[in-house]
A and B are shown apart, each in its own frame.
Chain A
Amino acid sequence: MNDISISRRFFLQTAAFASTASIAGTYPGISLAADGKTLRVRFNRDPESFDPGYYVGGHPNNDVNWLTMPALVHYGMRNGQPTWVPSPFVEHVTVRDATNIDFELKKGLMWTNGFGEVTTEDVAYSYARMTTSDWKNDYATFSHVEVTGSHTGTIVLSEPFSPFMNTTLASGTGIIVSKAATESVGGRFTTEVPASCGPYVYEMKQGQYVRLTRNPDWQGDMPYFDVIEGLIVTEDESAALAFEAGELDCAQVSSNSLARYSAELPPNSRLTVAGALQYMWLGMNTEHPKLQDIRIRKAIQRAVDQASVIAGAYSGTAEPSYGVVSPGLTGRRTSAGYAFDPEAARALVDEAGASGLELTLKTLNNQERVLSATIIQANLADIGINVTVMPVDAGPFWEMGQESKGDGWKDLELWIMRYGSGPDPYEPFQWFVRDQVGIWNWERWSSDEFEDLFAMGVMETDPSKRAEIYFRMQEIMEDTGAYVWLTHEPEVFVHRSDLSVQLAPSGEMQLTYFADV
């Protein structure tokens, strides 16, 4: 996945996926096991829960779950593009049509702790419980699993849901749990998993490590490493030093370390980019009296020098953003509908009679964002808008635009925001629909056309038509004047150059497929 130019036309369940994805053709190769091989990777925090219904998600929870729990599909590569592929737990997964997905589990895969074999009943139970879980949005149109045999079944959706394969099933929320074991602990669990099934079993010590060793009862193909140690290293710079000292084989790096490594890599090292699914923008409250005039908002759009933000705050390591759809996803734009043009911005400010306008820009109190805010402050000073930068801690920051938390949203003027996305373009748009005004749509606008397009985009299975929908939705957002697109920060890993790595587009390590080369 190095030097990815991610463009995923194949990314979603489409008619193109209607044919059976046979394991032989698409399964990411598991290297043959080698004795005594230990892999040491960085986990940036302790896993807090492995329950797919009630966990935070992301790294390192998914990294561990993919090694110890069954799933129908994993992320892999097809024709050079990251997409879903059948997992080592299935004979096949077939997208029959837009609402029916057939699957057959491998036989003889046993749950630990005596909970028997993995069956279709477990799959049906796992997905049904997700519809009432914290992650129920991923299962918005899931209807049921039709059990056609002990190891075969069909997932039935009430309506087409384009992100279902690549977001719902391939991400951590598609993990299958043991029905009997989960019910035996009251229906949910955290880090003490009642039964697991995978090539590895784990033990963990808080603040130190998650150690994965081979599962003696695993009947499937054996991954390359005997032992995988996820060492908990919370500090980015410590992780970089540990990698340079040879104590880690693979570690995610910060933008600081990335800038350093981009100039000069440590010997025998390589950088691999997983994806850039974060999107950051400068937001404006369209209902604030100072910003109700769209000419002022459009002036701000044209006054902010995106290139300076990327160079100054991110050392040139972030991707430029042209909308909410991240690089590699259907609907990613190649340019914004406006350009950096201080002259035009100044003219708009003069036309609106807003020269000398005083605004407050709020941002999370971290290095990159405060630097970004300072650059924007200088840009806006050039067009006669005086900005006060106000760094805010996480607690109050995330409440600034929420109506349920008081009247603070009424005073909100400008802010720098960054959201994360899964590997499907529907995800970022969900935060800007009408229902989200005063929740996560802090810009406080709505549009009938946008609402209609959002509903269409989720159900559309043709990638090119879907791309058109998302292009238009980003245009609508941009035309409100409430957004200045800033960056997509990449998820980058440094690793031994003789280590083959496979990363999920959302930034987790797919350790099953790591091997020495």
Chain B
Amino acid sequence: MSHGSALFMNMPDWKKTARLLVLGLLSTLLPGHLEAEGDRRTAPAEPAASPNGSAGSGQSRSPESLRDFRLVPSQVKLQGKGASQSFLVVATDGRGLEVDLTSESRFNLTDGRLARVTADGLLTARRDGELQLGADIAGQQLTAAVRIEGTDRARPFSFARDVVGVLTRNGCNGSECHGGVKGRGGFKLSLHGINPREDYRWTVKGGVYQVLSPKASEPFNPRVNPEEPQQSRLLLKPALELPHGGGQRFERDSADYRTLLEWIRQGAPYGAGRSESPIQRLEVFPREAVMEPGARRRLLVTAVLEDGRSEDLSPAVLYESSDSAVVDVSPAGVVHALKPGQARVMIRAAGKLVQVRCGVIRQPLDRFPRVARHNFIDEEVFDRLRELHIVPAGLSSDSAFLRRVCLDLTGTLPPPERVREFLADRDPLKREHLIERLLNSPEFVDYWTFRFADFFRVVYRNAYSYKSWIRESLARNKPYDHMARERVAAQGNGGPTRHFIKSISGEMMRPHEKMGEDVRVFLGIRLDCAQCHDHPYETWTQDQFWGITAFYGQLTRIRSLSAFMDDISGNEEQPEGPKVMHPRRRQEVAPRFLDGSPPTDMGGNPRKKLADWMTAPDNPYFSQAIVNRVWANFFGKGLVEPVDDFRPGNPPSHPELLEALAQDFRRSGYDLRHLMRAIARSRTYQLSGEVNSTNREDEVNHSRALPRRLEAEILLDAISRVTGIEEAFAVHEYVGGGTEPKGTRAIELVPEVTPSQFLEVYGRPVSRDSMPWRDYRSTLRQALHLLVGSTYTSKISAEGGRVGRLLSAGASDREIVQELYLAAFSRFPSAAEEARLQALIEGSPSRRKGVENLAWGLLASRQFTYNH
């Protein structure tokens, strides 16, 4: 028997039965269900599905409904012997979906001597000249202009494009293979070819992987054999003519095999070019694909070269789906929609990355309903929803909005009297007024101090003055860029300097730790991995890591004052001041920003230069990182998720929205309240959780409110508030023991100092010494705590609590049910709920027990433990 069963069995039968009954009653009251009972007037009508929408194949369309035919690209210049270009034919169908008609088109050329074209639109140059490519489809004649040059000479060779392209396309430089941190089998390549020069050295000269030492401990083994090109390991291994852990990557005499062989035969040159790689960037058509299940789209990938020319790379890149259950992608770049949902196709070549957003819709809509838009956020979100044929839910009810916005802005449930007041208010602007009231409330400062304490890392050793600084900054609405500058460039012994101190030992963070934290907090970038080696998944290098660390290298603590300063001028003992040394090269590292540029002037506090660079309006990361964090607070997840993992390989779900928010934030003077006001006022935020036929699978496009579990501290404070019994928090013995003052809220605590079984069970981080991680998973311990934990049972039955006060005041059952609903759910019970719950009270062994069970049931319900 499980512990849970045993505990449950120890409960009196009446209690067990009552609680099961209450739970059963309340378990039906899920947020979505409630919303359906809410303010129907504000919800858009159920979307009208297209008569063709049920076809499912994605190919069902009448030729007469097609419009906007296009041949892509509409003009192209080919250069070099054998140059080629793929063309696509697309059109928009009657439901607004763009469809790929390439395979149904007939291609022709105005001059067949200059080029040839295949049935699937691949044009290959033969001779210099100009011609037109034609495509016939559904009675439409489409044309593209083609200019061909330099067919008398081979295309200039490039290691970065040609060899790295082969390695990328065959997955050789993926993180699981030779592109891993240490490489594989003594052969290391940069991840997806981001560093072709390095790859060239490893391939042609060989190498030995070592993190912290410049000296090799083993002989180098080149991967090419210029004397006998066919005996090169670069060919033998992937062709499986030698044992290869990665298996066979291509066949002998395949196109990729021949490319490599030819390159080795030519002496394995690096190739011409002003920079490491001739490819400046990748472009893809389409950037976004909306499809029905079963539909297919071919992708057209173009490399923009450093000399301004373009090249078709479609057959020579690596395609990967972020969710292969939603869309699959073939090695040739054909996307296959499998089931409704969203996914990205990532395309890599020669260290470059480009992505296609794919939305697979259940059924296309003939008519997208008009949805009111409150501000620019809605413009971005609803435009996207329209593209994806997802109809947003209706506006949330007043009660749902009230509860949600109070929790999101202040972490505090509204009291019953305020719920009554708000629901009775007929002012059409009452939501705006409420938002203003909350933004200017003391609870806002309390709550956001708690939020910042998490990611600003308020810990035992630094809590008092550091937290006071955060609190004061928020109370005074200090511009966020000022906060950032004060923290990054902090000197002396004031509040912002305290974050240099670690929690348990009280030691000062080392320069690279400080840098790592600041970059993660303010730029949303995780550089940590680049400390010992180039970042395994992204473009950050070890040199970049130590270059930016050097800004922190002169920070010194004057222990006698517990003060921090930058020791820059040196003295007779250290004429040049402290230095940051590169761990591998053993050379002093000069400060450099992440973009590689050096500071113009190193006088004064070097971190001030860094802070200025970080917070500069043209730094794309700074504003985006904070608006993303704030967004995550209101929606449960960031536009970039995880919120501190900005990188090309982890793009935002709504890049335009993210930038629009960041721009608005910058224009407001980095005003956090302004940002939150914009979010809270948006219809996107105020949507209900109602599910309709189009948004059922959507979890990333904000088509409805998704329920979010209350964080441990918020949950405990909410329980205390509903029951009317404040929590007494014990203080850890190692700081002297005792109890926090009466009335202290859970959000005010420092985790290391105030152990709490409840808070730990519900996922509070035990310490903030590293960037805290909160656990939102449901666990058996939570279930047991819910059932028999003292936090619930004692508070409900405690003298002086809400239940006791209601009973002693002589409240009727109806009044009690209403009051508890208002306190816990910020709404009145429905007539049916009232009737059932009053009956439950009447059927209990005693009235008090009945009311207590009701209160327990409310607190145990998902409606209470979630913000929805």
- The answer to whether A and B assemble together is no
